[in-house]
Amino acid sequence: MRLRAAGAALLLAACNDSTTPPGPPIDLLKTAGDAQSWYFDNPLPTPLSVMVTDPSGDPVPGVVVTWTVTSGATSGGVNPAQSTTNASGIATTTDSIGSLTTHQTVSATFTGLAGPATFNEFATAPPTSAGVTVGNNFFNPADTVVQAAGTVTWTWNPGGVTHTITFTSGPAPLPAETVQGTGTKDITFNAVGTYGYHCTIHANMSGTVTVVH
């Protein structure tokens, strides 16, 4: 009696086994990175990512996915050109768009797939300068992008309310703190990366500067 119960439990465990081998890869779905707008010759912020599935829609690991720039390939491109799906059936690559290519298409496929997936990506020239309004109590825009060696100008709203531009993160050395209540402040950024800053006087008054190539 006891033995039979143990046998039944074992059989149940086998039926619930989630490690059943997947079927053959049959489909490929975009999971991240489509339709981004960024800047020439800078890696898109989100890697391109696909999931390979079997006929029941379960992910298939170990499938080699080939990434190809199919239009707009003057420079830049995908890296790596091939990647293998992980345990979750996901394969990724990074992509950048070369100068003067405003619209790039990238296909993702694997051997035997009937219809590749297509990613559409967009780029423009990075701004060489940018402006931020210092309001009461906000930075507008809160998130700013500028090309390396470019200058960001913060302009205080009339009214004489003191605010600070205090950098808390980003490539070292961080710019010195600014404390003023009127006029403008220019800061030139040379190192590529994202800087975080805030006003130490007013909670929730914060912003970022992203410096691109």
Query: Is residue 210 within 8 Å of residue 144, measured between CB atoms?
Result: yes
Tell me how crowded residue 2 is: count the other CB atoms within 10 A of its CB: 6
187 binds Cu ion per the rule CB under 5 A? no
163 binds Cu ion per the rule CB under 5 A? yes
Q: Tell the smallest beta-carbon distance from residue 137 to Cu ion (Å).
A: 5
198 binds Cu ion per the rule CB under 5 A? no
201 binds Cu ion per the rule CB under 5 A? yes
Q: Shortest CA distance to 172 belongs to which of 185, 189, 147, 186?
A: 189
Query: Is residue 189 within 8 Å of residue 152, measured between CB atoms?
Result: yes
Q: Tell the smallest beta-carbon distance from residue 155 to Cu ion (Å).
A: 14
Give the span between the Cα atoms of 186 and 8, in whole angstroms: 75
Among 199, 209, 211, 212, binds Cu ion (CB under 5 A): 199
Among 123, 152, 187, 205, binds Cu ion (CB under 5 A): 205
Q: Which is nearer to Cu ion, 39 or 197 (CB)?
A: 197
48 binds Cu ion per the rule CB under 5 A? no
The site string for Cu ion over 128-147 (x = CB under 5 A, - otherwise) reads: --------------------
Query: Residues binding Cu ion: what is the number (CB under 5 A)?
Result: 5
Helices and strands, number each (H, E), in the chain: 1, 18
- For 35-78, the DSSP string reads S-EEETTSB-SS-EEEEEE-TTS-B-TTPEEEEEEEE--SSEEE
Binding site for Cu ion (CB under 5 A): 163, 199, 201-202, 205
